[in-house]
Structure formats: structure tokens, C-alpha cells
Amino acid sequence: MQLEQQQRQHLQQLLQLGEEENLFRTEVNSLKAELDRLGTEKADFARQGPVSRERINNIRRTTSQHMSLSWQTIPHVTVFDKADITELEELRQRFKGKAEAAGGKLTITAMMLKLVASALRAFPKLNASLDTQNNQVVTKHYYHVGVAADTDRGLVVPVVRDVDRKNMIQLAAELVSLARKARDGKLTPDEMQGGTFTITNLGGLGIGFFTPIVNFPQVAILGLGRAVMEPVWLEDEFQPRLMLPLSLSFDHRLVDGADGARFLRWIVDAIEQPLLIALEG
């Protein structure tokens, strides 16, 4: 075991050197393959007791590969905050009938799409990607937001395109359509590509704060938790307020901690002024 650990450390050092010195891609890939082999040596689990096996489906395999790439490539930092969505929820209740008439469902996620697009316009660094090969930052001047969806077959991330050009009712309808396709396994490759930012919501599962993994090659992802009524000190007294946990993970190679904090704080401030969202549609 100690020898294997030494081998792994040595290979990791070689891999780092190879990438820094721009060795041939085949050599770098060979080193990565050897690291993978050391990390996944076959274990005889059946020696310990009964086991069962099932083949990994395409979605799970793709998710596994993509998550590994994201985690190994991106130095993650996550910052947390809470937003008072009491007024936002009142706004949602007021307009949900219009969304239903258009075939949609006005959820907090649908409303956050519009808000996130505005935040990305104000903070373009979080709507970018790193081109390490050419030593460049690629800033995108379009706003395609992915929304993580839990399905029976695994995690998929359909993309809502041109979020900044659509109103909340249109976004709510499109989100319902994409969610239905995701559940039925009918999403096309185009509907899962081209995202510039991702939103993931675990609130429906009762989760508060969490640390979402950035969807490479994007540089940030926003996690929404379960909104809970809490006592908040306002105007010289405690008042019941609906508080939404927010978790922002970002790529620290491009986004500094202060940038991430300002972005998340901008979102919190915007959530707590829902009239601005209503005026934007």
C-alpha cells in the first residue's frame, strides 16, 4: 500500500511537470491513465459478503466523467448567504396564474433565471471561461443558463437560452417544457450544450446549504436550498421572514473570493427588491 502511494505521488508530480512543460498530449494522457489505474484497482468485494452489479448507464457514465474533469481541473471555492424571499414569494403567488395559463409553472428557480442573467451582465467575469491553451479569458456576451434536473436515469442539465431576452412567464413555460423532456429522456444534445452558468436547486429535497460542483468549462454555479420561515430582527422586533439559502461555487483561477462575494451579495440584494424583477418582466 505504501509503495502504491509513493507511485501515485510520483506520477502526480510527473503529470504536473508534463502539463507545465507542455509535453505531448499522449504522454500526459498516459500518465493520467496510470493514475486512474492505481486509484481503481479491482477489489474483491464478494469476499466480504453478497454483492450485486449493474451496468452504468450512459447518463451516469457521462456525468461521472464530466464531474471528474470539473473537480480535477477547477480549484473550487464556495460562499454562502441567505436571502429574504418573503416579498418575492408574494410576487410569485401574484403572477403564477399567468404562468399556468401559458403552460408554465412560476417557481423560485424560474424567477432566479431572470435575476441571474442580470447579475451576469453586471459581473461578466462569472459568464466566462478560461482558455488555458491560449492563455486567454473568453467572456460570453450571451446568457444561456443551465438548470440541473434530477431524473430516474441520473443528472441532466438542460439549458435555457437567451435568458436575458425573455420575461418570467416565457422562462417558466420553457423550464416546464425542458423538465418534461428531461424526465422522458427526450432532451436533444443541443438542449444540453452551450450553457454559460448553472443553477441547481436541492430545496425540494429539504437541503439548505451545499457545495455544488462547477459545470466545466463554466466558472460558477448557484445552488438554491430549502426556503424556511425564520425570525429576523427588523424595525425593532423579530418578524417571520421566508429565508432562502444560497451557495455559490466558483473557479478560483478566474474568480477571486471578493468577486464571488460581490456577485452573491448582488443576487441577495436583487431578490430582496422583487419590484425590480417585476419591472424587468
Q: DSSP assignment, residue 217? A: T
Distance CA 210, CA 216 (A): 18
Q: Indicate the SS3 state at residue 117.
A: helix
- pLDDT for the residue 61: 86
Residue 160 phi/psi, 5-degree rounding, is -90, 120
- Scanning the structure block, which residue is given the C-alpha cell 477571486? 256
Name the catalytic one among 66, 76, 141, 252.
252
Rounded CA separation 58/65 (Å): 11
| Catalytic site includes residue 252 | yes
pTM: 0.83
CA dihedral 238, 242, 243, 244 (to 10 degrees): 180
- What pLDDT score does 59 carry? 84
Helix locations, 40-85, DSSP H: 58-73
Helix (DSSP H) and strand (DSSP E) numbers for the chain: 8, 11
What's residue 57's pLDDT?
86
Domains with residue ranges and CATH for the chain: 2-53 (no CATH), 75-280 (3.30.559.10)
The confidence score (pLDDT) of residue 20 equals 45
pLDDT of the residue at 26: 52
User: Per-residue confidence of the chain (281 residues) as pLDDT tens digits?
Assistant: 444 555 555 455 555 554 444 444 555 566 566 666 655 556 788 888 999 998 988 888 888 888 888 999 999 999 999 999 999 999 999 999 999 999 999 999 999 999 999 999 999 999 999 999 999 999 999 999 999 999 888 899 999 999 999 999 999 999 999 999 999 999 999 999 999 999 999 999 999 999 999 999 999 999 999 999 999 999 899 999 999 999 999 999 999 999 999 999 999 999 998 766 655 55
Element (H, E) at 82: strand 76-84
Residue 160 bridge partners (DSSP): 145
* Cα–Cα distances in angstroms (integers) from residue 106 to residues 62, 146, 227, in the given order: 30, 17, 16
Query: Which residue in 4, 34, 31 sits closest to 16, CA to CA?
Result: 31
